[in-house]
Amino acid sequence: MDTAANGSAPTPLGLLAELTHRCPLGCPYCSNPLALEGRSDELDTATWARVFREAAALGVLQVHLSGGEPGTRRDLVEITAAARIAGLYTNLITSAIGISNETLDRLSDAGLDHVQISIQDSDPGSADHIAGYRGAYARKQALAQEVVRLKIPLTINAVMHRANIDHVEDMVALALALGAKRVEIAHVQYYGWALRNRAQLMPTHEQVERAMRTIEALRLLRHGQIVIDAVVPDYYARFPKACVGGWGRRSLNVTPSGKVLPCHAAEIIPGLEFWNVREHALCDIWENSPSFRAFRGTDWMQEPCRSCPRRERDFGGCRCQAFALTGDARATDPVCHLSPQHAMVGELALVQEDAAYAYRR
Amino acid sequence: MTEIARTVSPDDRPKLARGVRLTHNEAHGGWVLLAPERVFKADAIAAEIVKRCTGEASVAAIVDDLVKTYNAPRERVLTDVSALLAGLADKKLMEL
C-alpha cells in the first residue's frame, strides 16, 4: 500500500521557480508552455519571498531560479536574497542574456550558491542560430568567465538534438575550458515547443549511439576534472525516466503567475486542477491540491505498471508524455518497452524533417 | 592528463567547495549536504567530520579531535575520515 496516496505526502527536495516566461532567446525546444504567461500576471517580490519561506518549512532544500530568463526580472537580486534568507540553496538557471556582470556581483553578495548557463552549441554561429539570437554565444562565454572569477560553481547545460549532438565532445571541452565543474548533456524532451519542433530536432539512431559512446569515454577521461551528467534520450530509451523523481514526490514547480504544478509540462494534461500560491499556502497545495494527488504514489496505475517491479523506481515514467503520445495520462509512458504502444515511439523517432524551427516567441 | 583520484594526506586542510553547504533539516531527518543540483544525506559521523573541515584544521588535527571526542581508535577514525574526504573530493564537493 502506498502511504503517499493516503494523505501523508512525502517531503519535497526542490522547487523550480519560474520567475517569468519572458526570454530574449527563442530556442525551439523551450520547456515553457505554448501559451506563455505575460508580465502583468507575474508574482511580485514579496509573494516569492513568502513562497520560499513556505517551501523551506515544507522541507524544500533547493530552489532553482528559472524562467524564461530570470534576468529579465528587475528584482532578481531581491528574490535571490529572499530565497537564501529562507535557508534555501539557490541555483540560478540562466541563458546569460540580461545578467550583467554587475548584477552577478550583487547576486553573489546575496549568497547565490550555483549558476547554470545554457549553451546551444560549441560552434558560435550554430549556437546563435539555435537560440535565435545573434551574439548569445559570446555573452554566455563572458558571463561564464565572470561566474568562475567570482568562484561560484558553474554548470554548463547543453541541450542536445540533431543539429548539435555530433558536437558533444566539443561541448564538454568548452565546459571544461570555461571552468565548469559540471556539464549536463540534456537531450531535448518533447513537450511544448519541443513537441512542435520534434521533426526538426530528433537525432538519428546512429547519432545517439555515437554520442552515448563518446560520453562514456569522456567520463573516464575527464574523471576528477568535470562531472558529466547525461541520460539516454527519451525516444531511444528502453525504460522511461522517473519524471520529476515521481509525481508529487520530490519537486514542485511554481509558474510566473503562481500556479503550482507537479511538473513544468503538467498543464497539457486536461482536467487537472492547479492551485495558486495567491490563494493557498504551499504546504496545503503540496498535500491536498487535486493535481498533486492525481498521480502521487502508485494507486492510479494501470497495467503493465501496476504489477511492475520497477513501479517505485520510475513511477510509470512521465505522465505528460503518456498523455501527449497516447491521449491517456494514466497509461504507461510509451517510452517503456513494456508499453503496448512502445512501437509508436520508434516510428515517431524516424519522422525527421530539415525544416526551419518554429522559434519560441 | 587524467587526474588520478587523490589520496588524502595528514597535512591537507580540507574545506567544503564553494556552493556546498552542510545543513540540518528536520523534514529530511538529519544532516544533508547541499551541492549543485544534488543533495547528499550525511549520517551523524559524516556530519561530524564535515563540520570540522574549515580549511584551517589539518586532517591530522581533525582525526585527533574525533579520536578524543568519541574515544575511538585512531586507525579506524583515520580510515573513515580519509575515505569520506577522498570520496567528497572526487565529487568536487571538498577541496583538499
More confident residue, B37 or A130: A130
C-alpha–C-alpha distance, residues A29 and A195, integer Å: 8
The predicted pLDDT at position A2 comes to 37
Q: Verify whether the Cβ–Cβ distance B92 to A61 is below 8 Å.
A: no
Q: How far B93 CA sits from the closest chain A CA (Å)?
A: 10
Confidence band of B3 (pLDDT split at 50, 70, 90): very low
Give the mean pLDDT per block of 10 residues along chain A (361 residues): 53 97 96 92 98 96 96 97 96 96 97 96 97 96 97 95 97 97 93 93 95 96 90 88 92 97 94 97 97 95 96 94 95 95 93 93 85
Which chain A residues are closer than 8 Å to B19 by Cβ? 113-114, 152-153
The predicted pLDDT at position A116 comes to 97
Q: Which of A59, A152, A182 sits opposite B27 (nearest CB)?
A: A59
The predicted pLDDT at position B5 comes to 56
Q: Verify whether the Cβ–Cβ distance B28 to A87 is below 8 Å.
A: no
The predicted pLDDT at position A4 comes to 41
The predicted pLDDT at position B36 comes to 86
A257: nearest Cα among A226, A279, A229: A279
Q: Verify whether the Cβ–Cβ distance B39 to A61 is below 8 Å.
A: yes
Q: Is B30 on the interface with A (CB under 8 A)?
A: no
A40: CB partners within 8 A, 6+ apart = none
Q: Is B55 on the interface with A (CB under 8 A)?
A: no
Q: How far A179 CA sits from the closest chain B CA (Å)?
A: 13
Q: How far B14 CA sits from the closest chain A CA (Å)?
A: 16
Q: Verify whether the Cβ–Cβ distance A155 to B37 is below 8 Å.
A: yes
pLDDT beyond 90 at B2:
no
The predicted pLDDT at position B1 comes to 38
Which chain B residues are closer than 8 Å to A184 by Cβ? 37
The predicted pLDDT at position A231 comes to 82
**Reduced DSSP (H G I as helix, E B as strand, rest coil) percent helix, strand, coil of chain B, to 5:** 40, 20, 35
- Bond preceding residue A68 cis, omega within 30 of 0: yes
Q: Is B27 on the interface with A (CB under 8 A)?
A: yes
Q: Verify whether the Cβ–Cβ distance A91 to B36 is below 8 Å.
A: yes
Q: Is B2 on the interface with A (CB under 8 A)?
A: yes
Using alpha carbons only, what angle is made at residue A250 by residues A245 and A251, rounded to the nearest 5 degrees? 100
Average pLDDT on B79-95 reads: 91
